[in-house]
Structure 1
Amino acid sequence: MIRVLFVCLGNICRSPMAEAVFRHMLEEKGLADQVTVDSAGIGGWHVGDPPHRGTLAVLAREGIPADGLRARQLSPADLDKFDYVVAMDEENLTGIRRLGQSRARVLRLLDLVDDLDDKNVPDPYYTGNFEQVYALVTKGCGRLLEHIQQEYGLSVRRQA
């Protein structure tokens, strides 16, 4: 089982959006039994809270389930539990690295997207632009899934 963890600052906007989008992509491709996905925040301010209403609104509009998403804080154990720890921006990447060494591949979500100059997903908690974040998250998740499929030789098994 391949394990992917998305990380943002408080785990209520970007990382739960990425978790839901990535999970949805896995289900559409019939790969949900081979890849697990979770999300966490650098800080613990929102532990136990559901995603921000802006994240929930975008996901609902796109028909992407957000059931069961609750904020949690990133822990040092996550760095050994997951194969990929995916930060939303440079600040989150720094926070992850402060926790110590990782067996996981640690990267920013947009590092795998070649046609973008800015590799940081902006925080809609401050900007309010959940639409822009959804577009970036979708692009990054798609590229991450392609990368994982290539790296692990996973083939798409369409659901009936």
Structure 2
Amino acid sequence: MIKVLMVCHGNICRSPMAEFVMKDLVQKAGLGAQFRIASAATSAEELGNPVYPPAQRKLAEHGISCAGKTARQLRWEDYEDWDLFIGMDEANLRNMRRLFSGDPAGKCSLLLSHTDRPGEVADPWYTGDFDATWRDVEEGCKALLHELMP
């Protein structure tokens, strides 16, 4: 089983979008039993909060539910439990590596580093542009799944 943890600052916009897009792609590919996918925050700011309503709406536009998801914080112990940590931006990557005292097993990467246009996933909390975030997340998840497919 491949265990993928999507990570962003608050775990209410980008990383849950990536979590549920990736789950949807995996299910549609008939690979659900081969993956465990979740998401977490590098900060404690939004712990226990649901996915931000505009992010919920963007997922719903594409037939994807994130019902029941609440923000949780990344923990040091997660490094042993997950195969990959997929950050949305450079700050997420720095915070993951700080928490994990580095990245000795090379488990941390940026979502868009798996595409032909590496960079950061647009943060809709600041931009308000959930369409751009959707495009980034969908492209990144498709590319990541392509890399991980057996």
For the criterion TM > 0.5, the same-fold answer is yes
The answer on 1:48 being equivalent to 2:29 is no
5 Å-filtered alignment, 1:71-86, equals 71-86=71-86
Q: Which runs of 4+ in 1 moved over 4 A?
A: none
The TM-score, its normalising length taken from structure 2, stands at 0.95
5 Å-filtered alignment, 1:33-44, equals 33-44=33-44
Cα shift at 1:104: 5.7
Structure 2 residue aligned with 1:97: 97
Task: Tell me the SS of whatever aligns to 2:4.
Answer: strand
Structure 2 residue aligned with 1:69: 69
Cα shift at 1:145: 0.3
Q: Take 1:104 and 1:71, find their aligned partners in 2: how far apart are those partners?
A: 25
Percent of residue pairs identical:
39
AA in 1 matched with 2:70: R
Task: Tell me the SS of whatever aligns to 1:107.
Answer: strand
AA in 2 matched with 1:21: V
Q: Take 1:70 and 1:29, find their aligned partners in 2: how far apart are those partners?
A: 26
Structure 1 residues without counterparts, runs of 5 or longer? 154-160
Cα shift at 1:67: 2.0
Structure 2 residues without counterparts, runs of 5 or longer? none
Q: Take 1:139 and 1:110, find their aligned partners in 2: how far apart are those partners?
A: 8
The answer on 1:132 being equivalent to 2:138 is no
Would you say how many aligned residue pairs link Structure 1 and Structure 2?
Answer: 148
The question of whether the paired residues in 1 share the 8 Å contact of 2:122 and 2:136 is answered with no
Cα shift at 1:105: 1.5
Structure 1 residue aligned with 2:109: 107
Q: Take 2:106 and 2:86, find their aligned partners in 1: how far apart are those partners?
A: 10
Q: CA RMSD in A?
A: 1.1
Residues 144 and 123 from structure 1, CA distance in 2 versus in 1: closer, same or farther, beyond 3 angstroms?
same
Cα shift at 1:101: 4.0
Task: Tell me the SS of whatever aligns to 2:65.
Answer: coil
AA in 1 matched with 2:107: R
